[in-house]
Chain A
């Protein structure tokens, strides 16, 4: 069964800008990949629990020992834009 994806919608969910040419290339590729991947629908899995991690460890605890934090300048060193000790970004809310 051919898979139809609303690529513009999914790209918006992924916060990923795609050009028209990219959408034209991606659409048939993703359909083909999903057609292959979708074959797992045929595997009988009633009563089979899902595996999220191969060697599961639950409730991993460690002692809460204070360590020196990353200095602010190091934490901000890779920032594309900063203002003082903060990351600077375009406005997030209307009228900001």
Chain B
């Protein structure tokens, strides 16, 4: 089945790299291809909050001259790139999907972007997201929803919904997002692309505008597993500006992509295919597991006994950290201040925050403030931190038995716009399979593993700390074996 003829922006970064190296294409042609796609589909998708076509053209021309003069090419050279709008970009508006930062222009680049840009990536724009990355559908953006390229009446997932939709639709070849409880993996699954959340600390958080600091990670959206490895490699590594960044050496996360899964011990998380998981998702995941077994993997079921408490622990820890991190939006140093006369500074701050924050952010700030308040701290936040320890121990025990763990990425495929908007708890349940990895700090990838009623399904593969190469190896074997056609129907109409 062919869905429109592919343009340059539909190719993978690794293939584009080969064509650039061979002199078959230029960075300028590649940038134009991406910008044309944005013009064509953006009115229907709403994936971007800020587009940067002039910057992209300028940078592409500069790169072509640099490469023509013998400058070294990297795997990021000339690649049209989108960034979730919670990553700071010097001189380019960065809103976090919030009214309170509607006009904020950062004076510095996030380290992940500085590295990618230094390697020659071309920024095409900043992508829409749930406000301050809080949400699972992108409907909590102050600037309107993003639509799923597979079905425009459905959500792309969240919170990095714009980055996921942009990559799925070819507006960018790859994108960065952030993953605090599943915000890279869940939208990747719902949009039919690869989403990689690295080990906590593998990528610097400097310039990632903080939501929950002990959970936040910068992650990768790509249309191939190989590209995810290339993108991670370009942004990973120690950064003196982030005290939580790891100083372990960065080995190439793509070094084992061809190694296959023969003999690999794969653990299906116990209970992961039971109630609460849509039948179509179950079926696609089972088929994928059968394929992995056929390729020589040894499958068994592995229990994470405390994972059932992960959602509860997360919804105490993340809002607690958020309530502290978001205290900085007080209308003094940056951001929009509430208009009018204020009797004193406290009133100005309360009004600024009341008018500047949307409903989900308010919900979490209140929840976190309550969980940290005198008399409740130990019962809520303290207990959640102890449960977090038990979840980490569960993973440690599991990885003594198996090499990687698998589960569905999301219990459902993309849901309809508005469907869960008035039921916060139902929305939170979208992340039931992704949250445990954030609590434990371990790496996980979502890789497309099939379809249910024409909508993509993702398989989550989780590994021990710093085992990115191992989870990508399993993902790559599955990707090659399934050979799915992942061009969304939207592109057929072009």
Contacts and interface: CB of A to CB of B under 8 A. Distances in A.
B366 A16 contact: yes
Contacts of A10: 366, 369-370, 373
Interface in B356-403: 357, 359, 362-363, 365-367, 369-370, 373, 379-380, 382-390, 392
A49 B390 CA distance: 9
A80 to B, nearest CB: 4
A90 B388 contact: no
A77 B243 contact: no
A24 interface: no
B345 A90 contact: yes
Nearest to A70: B107
B379 to A, nearest CB: 7
Contact of A51 (B331, B362, B389): B389
B384 A13 contact: no
- Chain B: interface residue count, which band? 35 or more
Contacts of A55: 199-201, 244, 246, 441, 465
Contacts of B383: 40-41, 43, 45
Contacts of B108: 70
Interface stretch (B67-75, B133-141, B289-297, B307-315): B307-315
Interface in B18-69: none
A11 B366 contact: yes
Contacts of A48: 386, 389-390
B316 interface: yes
Contacts of B107: 70, 74-75, 77
B348 A36 contact: no
Contact of A34 (B306, B367, B442, B465): B367
Contacts of B312: 36-40
Contact of B315 (A26, A33, A70): A33
B493 interface: no
A22 interface: yes
A45 B386 contact: yes
B354 interface: yes
Contacts of A78: 103-105, 333-335
A79 B333 contact: yes
Contacts of A87: 332-333
Contact of B316 (A26, A37, A43): A37
B494 interface: no
Given A50-B388, A57-B244, A15 B425 contact: no
Contacts of A54: 200, 214, 388, 392, 439-442
A52 interface: yes
Contacts of B345: 89-92
Contact of B309 (A17, A19, A22, A43): A43
B492 interface: no
A43 B306 contact: yes
Contacts of B425: 29, 32-33, 36
A1 interface: no
A86 to B, nearest CB: 11
A37 B378 CA distance: 14
B255 interface: no
Contacts of A51: 385-386, 388-389, 392
A53 B354 contact: no
Contacts of A52: 214, 385
Contacts of A57: 201, 243-244, 246
Nearest to A50: B385
B362 A22 contact: yes
Contacts of A74: 107
Contacts of B3: none
Given A10-B370, A43-B306, 4 more contacts: A17-B351, A37-B313, A54-B439, A90-B347
27 contacts: A13-B373, A14-B369, A15-B330, A16-B353, A29-B363, A29-B424, A29-B425, A32-B424, A33-B425, A34-B367, A37-B315, A45-B383, A45-B386, A45-B390, A48-B386, A51-B392, A52-B214, A53-B244, A54-B200, A54-B441, A57-B243, A60-B243, A75-B107, A77-B107, A78-B335, A79-B332, A79-B334
